Amino acid sequence: MNKKLLALAATSLVLPAFAVPTALAQPAPPAPLPPPVDGAPPPDAGPPPDNGVVASAPPGVVMSPDGWQLSVAATGETQLPIAPLTTAVSSREYLVGGTFVGTVTGNGKTKLNGGVLEAGYQIGCGIELGQVRLIGSVGVGTSGSTLTGGLVPTGVNFPISGTLEIHLKPGTVNQVSVDKKSFKAAPARVTLKDVHIKVDGCAGQSFLRSYATLTSSTTDTDDIVAYYGVTKSV
């Protein structure tokens, strides 16, 4: 009798080893990819990431009435959109760079007294976010149950209702001056590298372009020529 009980106990100890759930087993290996077909084009890798490089527009050139030729140009321009530090969807931020050069040449009739080279960026916003207002109301209500003594309040609630009112305005252009270089004799140069610029309150598509203005001065005159870069939409 004792031998039979020991045999049954041993059997009960062994059975759970065979009852291990199949979910603990290793997953089946993935199916192998089909071999490439000879002559088939490679899969589309999608557009390359934006490296920020943009083409420069032709230089701005003007001949002054005194015989001086003013020229302002840009090279090596970069404009890279980045995520706004505030994480606000109405903010636009960029890392920009480039070299802006202004020259004054020729045989003018007047004496030059230097001038100013200014470089910066213009950010256009399709729709500007205007006033935002929350219009709503708050009420007070009670709930209760009827007992032998009458209505007994059992709770108080405060229902809240409201709407968000947003006023959109036509788009505007924000001009951000990065540097103004005064010079005594041309050529003059301004070089920018990874300069951070931003604009807030933009609810639509944004557009960015560089600009530079060269001012050449004499005792009684100022001659100004401007450069505007290629517009980039973001």
pLDDT in tens, 3-53: 544 444 444 444 444 444 444 456 677 777 777 666 667 666 666 777 889
**φ, ψ dihedrals at 42, nearest 5°:** -65, 155
Structure tokens at 204: 């639509």
216 neighbors 61 (Cβ within 8 angstroms) = no
Domain-wise residue ranges, the chain: 60-117+176-201+211-229
Give dist(CA 209, CA 232) in Å, integer: 6
Q: What is the pLDDT of residue 202?
A: 85
pTM tops 0.75, yes or no: no
Sole residue written with tokens 């807030």: 200
Provide the strand spans (E) within the chain. 60-63, 68-82, 92-106, 115-125, 127-138, 141-147, 150-157, 160-170, 173-183, 188-199, 206-217, 222-228, 232-233
Q: What is the pLDDT of residue 27?
A: 66
Amino acid at 230: V
Q: Which CATH architecture has domain 60-117+176-201+211-229?
A: Sandwich (2.60)
The span from the first CA to the last CA of the chain, in angstroms, equals 88
Q: Could you report the average pLDDT of every consecutive run of 10 residues in the chain (234 residues)?
A: 47 44 60 71 70 94 97 97 87 93 96 97 82 53 56 58 57 90 96 91 88 97 97 87
Give dist(CA 223, CA 70) in Å, integer: 8
Q: What is the pLDDT of residue 203?
A: 81
Q: What is the pLDDT of residue 144?
A: 57
